[in-house]
């Protein structure tokens, strides 16, 4: 089992008046205070460094755009910092939003540099992005998937094919592809793809043998989607295992249950987050699911998969773990408690889903730096060791322990990280 740390890195400023109420693309940046932003960016980096020190094997980063619930508009910048400042933890970007990149060659060069500076610790992940990203970067939603898949194919070819060569396809055209920065890992860094409830995405991920990471989704829809992955894998001629599955879920640890209850409620006390907040009006259905972003066939398959009626979106499909604090603790969307109360609930999640890699989502919403540090310490002392033992007991093998066709060269990574 592989265990990572994650936080959405939200904006926090009670004076701004947007804590708990700001939804997608509704808050003007006139409320932004760069002095507070500078403090928060450095705080979140410090927490990542502390997470590595306490035994987390991976540090997960992501990005959103024009959204106060996530300050990571350019996730590669923090990945570069961590590449130099950390020593052991893998730097997991889940992920760069491919359809908004007009120059994926530049992205290929950036990621290659991160892999080299980190001595082969990059895990690259790519996403299609939500409606907010399409709006903020003027990216047509009707060709979102086309641009995603072509950019993916181009970057993989750039990393694995000696240049110079030409690339002339529908969305990207290059007369000369010959970057002078290439990944340390051969043939390229491992690729993981995160998602929520898109059967089309699972089709594509499973056919490419990539690990699929479900993001803070309810247990039953997640289990169903993992079953679907295994079905597609079998149809593609291979048997998937725990190494092909990952899960992100919210876990916070405190010394007492009272402290855990108080801090856990802060998950939903920050600026509105579509993956946490229960108020659908703040999520913005029209923004989350722009016309043309999702095909009719995918909608119908999603309805069949989850037994839902017509008109559902990915954010409202019943898969995303949202609601009140009480509702989320009841259905294990939020696990907050002492190590003694947290560990059995983590076991329940692992027994139900059997993922080879997990991502503990902590320090979010309105949680303070002190909240995050206390939890990290208890993770390192008690929760991570116990979780590793549970993983061994359940036979949960990660993508880093096997080579299952992802293109990841484990021997190269081991040799690089010994230096």
Cα 243 from Cα 206, distance rounded (Å): 12
Residue 253 has pLDDT above 50, yes or no: yes
Q: What pLDDT score does 78 carry?
A: 98
Assigned token pair, 357? 């890699």
Task: Find the helix or strand (DSSP H, E) in which 349 lies.
Answer: helix 339-353
Q: What pLDDT score does 314 carry?
A: 46
Residue 19 has pLDDT above 90, yes or no: no
Residue 388 has pLDDT above 90, yes or no: yes
The DSSP code sequence of 171-187 is: S-EEEEE--S---SSSS
Cα 137 from Cα 55, distance rounded (Å): 37
Residue 276 has pLDDT above 70, yes or no: yes
Buried b (16+ CB within 10 A) or exposed e, 205-224: bbebbbbbbbbbbbbebbeb
- Where residue 22 falls among pLDDT bands split at 50, 70, 90? low
> Scanning the structure block, which residue is given the tokens 């249950």?
257
Considering the entire predicted model, what is its pTM? 0.91
Q: What pLDDT score does 384 carry?
A: 98
Residue 193 has pLDDT above 60, yes or no: yes
- Where residue 307 falls among pLDDT bands split at 50, 70, 90? low
State mean pLDDT over 282-305: 65
Residue 413 has pLDDT above 70, yes or no: no
What are phi and psi for residue 170, nearest 5 degrees?
Answer: -70, -45
Parse the chain into domains and list their residue ranges.
Answer: 2-417
Residue 305 has pLDDT above 70, yes or no: no
Which residues are within 8 A (CB) of 71 and not within 5 positions of it... i.e. 6 or more apart?
Answer: 9, 10, 11, 37, 40, 41, 44
Least confident of 13-22, 50-59, 213-222: 13-22
Q: Which CATH class is domain 2-417?
A: alpha beta
Q: What pLDDT score does 96 carry?
A: 97
State mean pLDDT over 260-277: 88
Mean pLDDT rounded to a whole number for the chain = 89
The distance from CA 250 to its chain's CA centroid, rounded to whole angstroms, is: 12
Per-residue model confidence as pLDDT tens digits over 314-362: 444 456 667 889 999 999 999 999 999 999 999 999 999 999 999 999 9
How many Cβ atoms are within 10 Å of 229's Cβ, its own excluded? 21
Cα 401 from Cα 4, distance rounded (Å): 15
Residue 234 has pLDDT above 50, yes or no: yes
Residue 313 has pLDDT above 60, yes or no: no
Which residues are within 8 A (CB) of 226 and not within 5 positions of it... i.e. 6 or more apart?
Answer: 212, 214, 245, 353, 354, 355
Residue 50 has pLDDT above 90, yes or no: yes
Output the CA–CA distances (angstroms, integers) from residue 65 to 101, 129, 346, in the order listed.
13, 9, 31
- Where residue 250 falls among pLDDT bands split at 50, 70, 90? very high
Q: 221: closest CA among 118, 317, 113? A: 317
The strand pair at 58-61 and 173-177 is best described as unpaired
- Where residue 311 falls among pLDDT bands split at 50, 70, 90? very low
State mean pLDDT over 31-54: 97
Q: What pLDDT score does 138 carry?
A: 78
- 29 vs 167, residue with greater confidence: 167
Percent share of the chain, pLDDT over 90: 73
Per-residue model confidence as pLDDT tens digits over 107-155: 999 999 999 999 999 999 999 987 778 788 878 888 999 999 999 999 9
């Amino acid at each position: 089992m592989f265990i990572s740390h994650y936080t959405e890195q939200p904006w926090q400023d009670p004076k701004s008046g947007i804590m708990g109420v700001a939804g997608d693309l509704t808050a003007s940046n006139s409320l932004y205070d760069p002095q507070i932003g500078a403090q928060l960016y450095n705080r979140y980096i410090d927490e990542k460094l502390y997470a590595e020190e306490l035994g987390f094997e991976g540090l997960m980063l992501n990005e959103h755009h024009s959204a106060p619930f996530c300050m990571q508009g350019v996730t590669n910048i923090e990945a570069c910092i961590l590449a130099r400042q950390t020593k052991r933890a893998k730097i997991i970007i889940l992920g760069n939003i491919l359809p908004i990149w007009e120059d994926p060659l530049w992205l290929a060069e950036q990621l290659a540099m991160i892999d080299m500076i980190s001595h082969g610790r990059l895990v690259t992940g790519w996403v299609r992005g939500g409606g907010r990203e399409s709006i903020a970067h003027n990216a047509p939603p009707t060709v979102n998937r086309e641009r995603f898949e072509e950019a993916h194919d181009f970057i993989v070819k750039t990393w694995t094919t000696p240049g110079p060569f030409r690339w002339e396809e529908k969305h990207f055209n290059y007369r000369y592809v010959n970057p002078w920065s290439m990944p340390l890992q051969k043939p390229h860094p491992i690729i993981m793809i995160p998602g929520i409830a898109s059967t089309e995405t699972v089709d594509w991920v499973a056919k490419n043998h990539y690990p699929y990471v479900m993001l803070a989704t309810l247990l039953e829809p997640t289990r169903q989607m993992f079953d679907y992955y295994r079905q597609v894998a079998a149809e593609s001629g291979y048997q998937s295992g725990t190494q092909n599955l990952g899960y992100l879920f919210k876990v916070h640890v405190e010394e007492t249950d009272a402290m855990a209850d108080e801090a856990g409620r802060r998950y939903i006390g920050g600026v509105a987050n579509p993956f946490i907040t229960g108020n659908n009006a703040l999520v913005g259905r029209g923004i989350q699911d722009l016309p043309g972003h999702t095909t009719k066939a995918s909608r119908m398959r999603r309805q069949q998969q989850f037994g839902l009626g017509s008109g559902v979106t990915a954010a409202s499909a019943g898969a995303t773990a949202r609601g009140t604090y009480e509702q989320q603790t009841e259905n294990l969307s939020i696990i907050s408690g002492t190590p003694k109360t947290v560990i059995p609930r983590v076991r329940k999640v692992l027994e139900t889903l059997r993922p080879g890699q997990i991502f503990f989502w902590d320090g979010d919403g309105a949680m303070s730096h002190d909240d995050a540090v206390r939890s990290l310490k208890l993770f390192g002392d008690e929760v991570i060791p116990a979780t590793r033992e549970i993983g061994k007991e359940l036979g949960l093998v990660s993508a880093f322990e096997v080579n299952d066709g992802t293109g990841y060269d484990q021997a190269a990574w081991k040799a690089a990280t010994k230096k």
